Amino acid sequence: MILKAPERGKKISDGIVRQIRDAVMSGELKLGDKVGSEKDLMAQLGVSKSTLREALRVLESMGIIEIRKGLSGGVFVAEVDMKTTLAGVLNFLNFQSVSIRDITMVRYILEPAIIRIAIPLVTEEDIGRIEELLQSESGPETAGPIPGIGFHRYLARITHNPILILVMDFIDNLVADIKLKEGLGSDFYAAVNAYHRRTLECIRRRDAAGAIAVIQDDILFVGRTMADRLNRPGFEPEGLDRTVSDLPSPDRVDGLLTAPAGMPPGTGDPAQAPPAAQKLVLRHVASGRLYVFDPNDGTKG
């Protein structure tokens, strides 16, 4: 690749960074390609050694290039791994205004999709590992400085989608930072753990609707707690017409009949269901519809 001398009148090193970064992002320069030796780059760009090295330091810190020593050395395109990408995004957002409301909204939209993708893929080994995570997050004294973070990240990893994994790692870093700074107490972590356990019970039964309902309440609970602590606006979905308390608890769900199309799944004979579970009311969040199913008369609306 032939590089062009950067525009004068602007910071020259910034122009070099943009030119090489854009070439890598567009695919013009690929993983392992040699950008050039230091001497060659100085000649192509018409810049001093100090200006070139300033630009190369920035590109290296971004994880875009690596500098190799020796006779066959020079500047090469580096593999941009997830850790490097995440660090770059976090550095960018340090200069942006990211609110509790922003974080909660993104989680509320994204994590139900992760649940839907993960449930058909989850294995017994995954369930066992999640149970270990839940055991370790039972309180701040047993789970390190940030209990509860691993649960959401693990669900993203079940999808095997690197973009979802990256985004969830990024979001969890933001949430973890706030939790750590605010020193939330054991009651908070106990409540989060209870949400996670109820989510896992739904996942175990392959009940996507139930898992989504619980995890959304988990997200809203965490978002409200952090917003209240920081005295900042929180995120409240419009038209929210259900909470976790509207749903049967995991120990009462097994008697529910598998519902008609469009309804959350369950198992068993409705006649054997406990009285409190005879009517199930759920809001289908994606379309905004409200479903009511009463096993006693078979109606839904």
User: Two tokens at 216?
Assistant: 């959304």
Residue 200 sits in a domain whose CATH number is 1.20.120.530
The reply to whether 232 and 243 lie within a common domain is: no
Residue 6, in any domain of the structure: no
User: In the predicted model, is pLDDT for residue 91 greater than 80?
Assistant: no
- Same domain? For 93 and 232 the reply is yes
Q: Which residues, 6+ apart, have CB-to-CB distance to 85 below 8 Å? A: 63, 166
Same domain? For 146 and 110 the reply is yes
Report the pLDDT averaged over residues 78-88: 64
How big is the chain, counted in residues?
A: 301
Shortest CA distance to 195 belongs to which of 283, 265, 107? 107
pLDDT single digits (tens) 149-175: 589 989 999 999 888 888 888 888 788
pLDDT mean over 112-141:
86
What pLDDT score does 149 carry? 53
In a domain, 3, yes or no: no
Q: Does residue 1 lie within any of the structural domains?
A: no
Q: Which H or E run contains 155?
A: helix 149-158
Q: Which of 50, 80, 110 is the last residue of a domain?
A: 80
What total of structural domains would you count in the chain? 3
Is residue 136 domain-shared with residue 225, that is, in the same domain?
yes
Where residue 62 sits, what CATH number does that domain have?
1.10.10.10
78's tokens: 């580096």
Residues 100-106, mean pLDDT to the nearest whole number: 92
DSSP annotation of 271 reads: G
Residues 70 and 211 reside in one and the same domain: no
HSE toward the beta carbon, residue 159, CA cutoff 13 A: 20
Question: Where a domain ends, among 32, 58, 80?
Answer: 80
Q: How far apart are CA 18 and CA 6, in angstroms?
A: 10
Most confident residue range from 75-84, 178-187, 190-199, 232-241:
190-199
Among candidate residues 199, 194, 187, 190, the one with its CA nearest the CA of residue 154: 199
Q: What are phi and psi of 291, to 5 degrees?
A: -105, 135
Under 8 Å between Cβ of 48 and 38 = no
In which domain, by residue range, is 206 found?
A: 81-237
Give residue 32's identity as a one-letter amino acid code: G
Alpha carbons 264 and 284: distance in angstroms, whole number: 9
Distance between CA 238 and CA 89 in Å, rounded? Answer: 30
Percent of the chain with pLDDT over 90: 32
pTM of the model: 0.54
Out of 80, 110, 130, a domain closes at 80
Residue 51, helix vs strand vs coil = helix
